[in-house]
Amino acid sequence: MDNLIDGRAIAAEIHGETRERVARLAARGVKPHIVFVRVGEDPASRVYVGMKERTSGELGLLSTTRVLPEDTTQAALLDLVRTLNADPGVHGILVQAPLPRQIDAPTIFAAVDPAKDVDGFHPVNVGKLLLGDEGGFVPCTPAGVHELLIRSGTRIAGANVVILGRGNIVGKPMASILMQKGRHADATVTVCHSRTAAIEEHCRRADILIAAMGVAHFVRASMVKPGAVVVDVGVNRVPDATAKSGSRLVGDVDFAAVQPLAGRITPNPGGVGPMTIAMLMRNTVRAAEQNCR
């Protein structure tokens, strides 16, 4: 079925726009610079940061990765963040989650200069998003989902949107983006979570269903209205004896069962994932542009 929303193709389109902006900055003698801060050797974090480094280089951005040991104290990490905040040659700062148990992630995110917070997690940027102030940075995954909807021609205004998951990284900011008054928004948004009663009934009313609960194959065909747009944000590892590693990654949507019903659907992988990095690169270039004004 040709109802896929191709995240890789849309991300490539955005990367092309980003390259043009990087070239305009280069003509002014400016090269956008993002610093990735990784604490410890979490395997997934190493992979994610590596992907972001490669994309930065491909788009003409400068990237630096600072790796701190697993036993780094919160005070030491805060000192590094303050140093990066004060460095005029750094335009974007990303502290890779998850962080070790001795470190309070919200405290670290709140320490990043909001003007360099290209992950969009600083309370100032969170507040701007909720208020509809476009001057802040929007978290990359929900911003990427929004672009997928826009560039796939999905009608958002007046749509019934159901978001599965109320997390600070996807669910809450996603709801804030889509409920705003304005272009590419004006949706009626319902946020469902682990305590929501009759969750299937909510899902069956959705014109746009966004799954971000972190539960493998949670969304079944019986939960989807025929013709709905389904976006799968989930990344879950499940056992798979046929895989070399003994496991594989799946989304929150039972793709094989839901695809025949959906009007449009994101694959997983190849849907939301590429968009997250594309939005991070775009945020970093924007931070450099704003720094030049």
The angle at the Cα of 117, spanning 109 to 162, to the nearest 5 degrees, equals 80
Q: Do 63 and 35 meet the contact criterion of CB atoms below 8 Å apart?
A: yes
Place of tokens 């269903």: 209
Residue ranges in the chain whose pLDDT is less than 70: 1
**DSSP code string of 31-43:** --EEEEEEES--H
User: Are 29-113 and 140-273 equal in CATH topology?
Assistant: yes
Domain range list for the chain: 29-113, 140-273
Q: CA 254 to CA 219: how far, in whole Å?
A: 6
Q: What is the CATH number of domain 140-273?
A: 3.40.50.720
- The pLDDT value recorded for residue 114 is 98
The residues carrying an active-site annotation are: 52, 96, 119
The 10s digit of each residue's pLDDT in 26-47 is 999 999 999 999 999 988 899 9
Q: What is the CATH number of domain 29-113?
A: 3.40.50.10860
- The pLDDT value recorded for residue 242 is 84
Q: CA 5 to CA 22: how far, in whole Å?
A: 27
State which H helix or E strand residue 283 sits in. helix 272-292
- The pLDDT value recorded for residue 1 is 66
